A and B are shown apart, each in its own frame.
Chain A
Amino acid sequence: MSANRSLVLRSFVVTLVAIACWMALSSVEMANATTAATNPKPADGLAAWDSVYSVLTYPRCINCHTATNYPQQGDDRHRHFANVIRGPEGKGVAGLNCISCHQEKNSDATGVPGAHGWHLAPLSMRWQDLNDRILSSAEVCRALIDRAKNHGLDEPGILKHHQEEPLVVWAWNPGLRPDGSARSMPPLTHDQFVGATRRWVAAGTPCPRSRSSP
């Protein structure tokens, strides 16, 4: 009888210890998970940046982030027709403004894309060089977070820009070409793009290291 009671007591103690260990381990795992969510690893941020970069350098975006005195158009990023030039504020020049053709909305009947405030990105936000080569991931990243170049946007400002700026959002509603076919869209959905930007910002906007020049 006494031996049985001792066995039951021992089993009870062992069970209690097991439950205590399990709870302790679980709390450590939860704490780690919470820490990972609030302090993402730089590697996660860099992976998110890769996604952001894939969108920024897509023709719908980079065609207006030129290093030249003119915008580009088309998936082959050719020079904009009609002798359109940048102008002092990136909005063309008097008599030949961006809004001489680009209205508040796409015009699918005539194939002219449109959104509020159509204009070129400033030269400080150029994502290609004068030889039409797309800048490296590191170069674009550094420019994007440089407040001297990005019109003073802080990290939440960059996220908001990607979420709400009409010309950014337009990239996912680019309308029809003059021949009636649909313009291509960036490799991610807008939600995915914003999500990647959010993860990159949460990780502290890490930028990849520059590769040495070839």
Chain B
Amino acid sequence: MTTYQLSVNGERREVDVDSSTPLLWVLREELKITGTKYGCGISACGACTVHLDGVATRSCVVPVSLIGNRPIVTIEGIGKDPVGRAVQDAWVEKDVVQCGYCQSGQIMTAVALLKDKPRPTDANIEESMGGNLCRCGTYVRIREAIKSASAQLN
């Protein structure tokens, strides 16, 4: 076991875990921050997406030992960010969610997209969101919500 100092949603947190523990399980099991979901465990579905130093990152495959000093933002903290707030509002406005399991990952990826491309095209949305799977098939509403958030921010 090793002790790690992490910055999670702006707060310093300390965990004592095995160095190979994926960030997802540090968040969920050690820190009880459970908005980030376990989907596939192999970075194929995007449900576990968090922001690591601003980069949308698959937390299920990143061991805690490789995080270093990079700040972590999860779905619980993204609403403090203006883009994150706009995306969450748009998600509500467009009633995107069906079962909801994948949506925290979808929102985290959508925020990363809008920070890079404030006015994304349909192609931009499909490319960036293409790694986030939704078994309920809410893709059309996800795209509408991203466009709505973009309009709100611009």
Contact = CB atoms under 8 A, between A and B. Distances in A.
Contact of B57 (A100, A105, A108, A111): A100
User: Which of A81, A82, A95, A110 has its CB near the most chain B CB atoms (within 10 A)?
Assistant: A95
B109 A95 contact: yes
Contact of B43 (A85, A97, A109, A112): A112
B20 interface: yes
Given A82-B43, A101-B62, A96 B55 contact: no
A82 B109 CA distance: 14
Given A82-B43, A101-B62, A93 B124 contact: yes
A83 B131 contact: yes
Interface in A112-134: 112, 114
B44 interface: yes
A95 B61 contact: no
B94 interface: no
A144 B113 CA distance: 34
B127 interface: yes
Contacts of A101: 43, 57-58, 61-62
A55 to B, nearest CB: 27
B109 A96 contact: yes
Given A100-B57, A101-B43, A101-B57, A94 B62 contact: no
Contacts of B109: 95-96
B44 A95 contact: no
Contacts of A108: 20
B128 A94 contact: yes
Interface residues of B, number: 32
Given A85-B127, A101-B43, A110-B61, A95 B110 contact: yes
Given A93-B116, A97-B56, A107-B63, 13 more contacts: A83-B130, A87-B127, A94-B113, A94-B115, A95-B116, A95-B128, A100-B56, A100-B57, A109-B20, A110-B20, A110-B63, A111-B61, A178-B42
B131 A112 contact: no
A105 B116 CA distance: 26
B27 interface: no
B63 A97 contact: no
A37 B153 CA distance: 66
A84 interface: yes
A48 B130 CA distance: 43
B113 A95 contact: yes
A97 B129 CA distance: 11
Contact of A94 (B44, B49, B58, B112): B112
Contacts of A94: 56, 112-113, 115-117, 128
A75 interface: no
Contacts of A99: 55, 57
A107 B61 contact: yes
A20 B135 CA distance: 90
B128 A93 contact: yes
